[in-house]
Amino acid sequence: MARLPRLTLPGYPHHIIQRGNNRQMIFADTQDFATMMALLAENAHKFAVAVHAYVLMDNHFHLLATPATAEALPLMMQAVGRSYVRYFNQRHGRSGTLWEGRYRSTLIETERYLLACMVYIDLNPVRAGMVAQPGAWQWSSHAHYLGQRIDKLVTPHALYWALGNTPFAREAAYAGLVQAGVGSGDQAALTDAALTGWALGDAEFVAELQKKSPRRVAKAKAGRPAITPKN
């Protein structure tokens, strides 16, 4: 069966996952992480993609981003992916593919899932057992939202600004969200939606998206279609 085209619409937040081939390591040391950060910042600006949150792990990375146009996100990811593979292969004396196929992504309902997705991304290193607290992991947007550093890659979403009227209030409110964590249901939903490409949100949100895309945005319900009785 032919795979569905990727669901990408401008003005909506997208949760993106890019994995290493066979879960292999894609960042070997600080220079590799820093190179990816620079490529993301350069191309997010070039293609008008607002990156709200990110985390770089050893064998994959997550982004939460809103593209300004339908082409912006694919163009950014293509440019980043190609440039990083050339760099990584040359530096580490290897050849061939680095990525596990194309990146995975989908749209998420802003009000319901955007802040939860940010927290989910921040907590990735903790879930993986790499650190005890998200602030101990250098390669994520967590420190920016706690006011610990300025990260040129990050463009805060309006929902983050709405968390408080002052920087301190916003930082404290967001720290509270991270401390509370993400429920197992939301965690599974965020992961599954990005990996399958189905939009994540309530029925009204999905219906709104379907009007804007010729591509089916949600998985069809199991079973045969209902038969309308004849009069």
CATH number, domain with residue 158: 3.30.70.1290
Percent of the chain with pLDDT over 70: 94
Instruction: Domain of residue 157: give its range.
Output: 14-212
200 near 114, Cβ under 8 Å? no
pLDDT of 69 higher than 70 = yes
Domain membership flag for residue 118: yes
Greater confidence (213 vs 49) lies with 49
Question: What is the pLDDT, as a whole number, of residue 221?
Answer: 67
Q: Is residue 220 part of a domain?
A: no
Q: How far apart, in whole angstroms, are the C-alpha atoms of residue 137 and residue 61?
A: 13
Please tell me the distance from the alpha carbon of residue 74 to that of residue 47, in angstroms, as a whole number: 9
CB-CB contact of 64 with 107 (8 Å): no
- Asked whether residue 87 is domain-assigned, the answer is yes
Domain contains 41: yes
Q: How far apart are CA 107 and CA 190, in angstroms?
A: 10
pLDDT classification of 158: cutoffs 50, 70, 90:
very high
Number of separate domains in the chain: 1
Task: Tell whether 152 is covered by a domain.
Answer: yes
pLDDT score recorded for residue 218: 87
pTM (two decimals): 0.92
Q: Is residue 39 domain-resident?
A: yes
Domain assignment of residue 225, yes or no: no
Residue 5 falls inside a structural domain: no
